[in-house]
Amino acid sequence: MATDTTRERILSLIASAGPITAAALAHKLGLTSAAVRRHLGALMEDGLIADHDMPNLVDRGRGRPARSFVATSVGQRSLQSAYSDVAREAVNYLRDRGDLTEFVETQAARLEASLADAVNHDAPMAERVEALSEALADQGYATSVRPVPGGYTVQLCQGHCPVQEIAQVAPEWCEAEARAFSSVLNVHVQRLSTLAQGAHVCTTTIPLTPALKEG
What CATH number is given to the structural domain containing 170? 3.90.1520.10
Distance CA 214, CA 70 (A): 39
Q: Are residues 189 and 115 in the same domain?
A: yes
Beta-strand relationship, 190-193 and 153-160: unpaired
Q: Which of 37, 59, 78 is the last residue of a domain?
A: 78
Q: Looking at 13, 46, 78, which one is the last position of a domain?
A: 78
Q: How far apart are CA 195 and CA 163, in angstroms?
A: 10
C-alpha count within 13 angstroms, C-beta hemisphere, residue 103: 17
- 12 with 94, same domain? no
**Alpha-carbon distance values, 57 to 62, 65, 107 (Å):** 10, 9, 40
Contact 126, 183 (CB under 8 A): no
Tell whether 152 is covered by a domain.
Answer: yes
Q: How far apart are CA 38 and CA 30, in angstroms?
A: 15
In a domain, 37, yes or no: yes
Q: Report pTM.
A: 0.62
pLDDT at 62: 55
Nearest residue to 164 (alpha-carbon basis) of 93, 44, 83, 49: 83
65/92 same-domain check: no
Q: Do 109 and 186 belong together in one domain?
A: yes
Domain of 126? Answer: 84-207
24 and 7 in a common domain: yes
Per-residue pLDDT of the chain (215 residues; tens, 9 = 90+): 344 578 888 988 888 777 889 999 999 888 998 999 999 999 999 889 998 765 544 444 555 566 889 888 788 777 665 456 667 778 888 888 888 899 899 989 999 999 999 999 899 999 999 999 999 988 888 889 999 999 899 999 988 777 777 888 888 999 999 999 999 999 999 999 998 888 888 999 999 975 554 44
Q: Are strands 202-207 and 190-193 parallel, antiparallel or unpaired?
A: antiparallel
Whether residue 215 is contained in a domain is answered as: no
Give the residue from 78, 93, 126 where a domain finishes.
Answer: 78
Q: Is residue 96 part of a domain?
A: yes
* Count of the separate structural domains present in the chain: 2
Per-residue exposure over 94-125, b if at least 16 CB sit within 10 Å of its own CB, e if not: bbeeeebeebbeebbeebbeebeeebeeeeeb
